[in-house]
Amino acid sequence: MRHQDLTRESKAGWLLALAWVVQGAMLVTIGGTAAFGFLALWLPLALVFPLVFRPGRLGLEACGVAASLGGLGMAVGTGIDLAAGEAHAAHGMPGHGVAVLVSWMAALMLVFCVAGCHRLCRVGRPALRFHLAAVLGMLAGMTLGGAALSGTLSSLAGSHLLGGHLAMLLGMTAGTAVGTGWLRPT
C-alpha cells in the first residue's frame, strides 16, 4: 500500500465526516429545537468515518457513503420538499410505503450516494453490478427502515421529520450493506 493511497483514503474519510457534520446541522434546522440534544450524540460519530474508511473495505466504504453523503442528500432534499410546500408526509411516516421514493429527498439521496460511491469507493470490474446492488439496497432499506422505525424514532427524537430521517438513514445504510455484501472487489 502506497503512502498516496493512505492520503487519499484519509481525505475521503474526512470528507465523509464533514458531510456527516453538515447533515447534522441541517437536521437541526429540519427537526427544530428537539434536534439540539440529538447533536450531542450525532457529532462524535463523525470521527468514525476517518477511522474506518480504508482500502479493501468496499462494503464498509459504500455504507459510509450512504450514511454520510446519502444522508446529506436526504437532508437537502427534505429542505427543498418543505420549501416547495410539500406535505412531506412520506418522509419516513408509517403507512406510506414506496411513496417515500417520489420526492426530492429520495432523488438527492441517490445523486449524492451514487456520485460519492463512484468517486470514493474502489470498485473493481463489476462496477455497474456493484452500484446497482447498492442503489437497490439503499432504496429498499430506506423504505423498510422508514416504515418500521419512524414511529419509534420520531417519539424518541421529538420530531417526526428527524425520526423519519434517522429511520430511513439506518434502513438505507443497512440496505447498502445487504445489497453490496455479497459482492467482492476484483
For residue range 150-184, what is the model confidence (pLDDT) as tens digits? 889 888 888 888 888 899 999 999 999 898 875 54
Summarised one tens digit per residue, pLDDT across range 95-129 is: 555 666 778 888 999 999 989 888 887 766 567 88
Mean pLDDT is highest, among 19-23, 33-37, 83-87, for 19-23
Q: Which pTM was predicted?
A: 0.86
Q: Is residue 168 part of a domain?
A: yes
Q: Is residue 145 part of a domain?
A: yes
Separation between Cα atoms, residue 35 and residue 29, nearest integer Å: 8
Q: Is residue 7 part of a domain?
A: yes
How many domains would you assign to the chain? 1
Domain that holds residue 131: 3-181
Collapse the DSSP code of 53 into the 3-class scheme (helix H, G, I; strand E, B; otherwise coil) and give the result.
coil
Q: Is residue 102 part of a domain?
A: yes
**Which grid coordinates belong to 169?**
438513514
**Which grid coordinates belong to 58?**
468496499
| Dihedral (Cα; 102, 103, 104, 109), 10-degree rounding | -60
Q: Is residue 186 part of a domain?
A: no
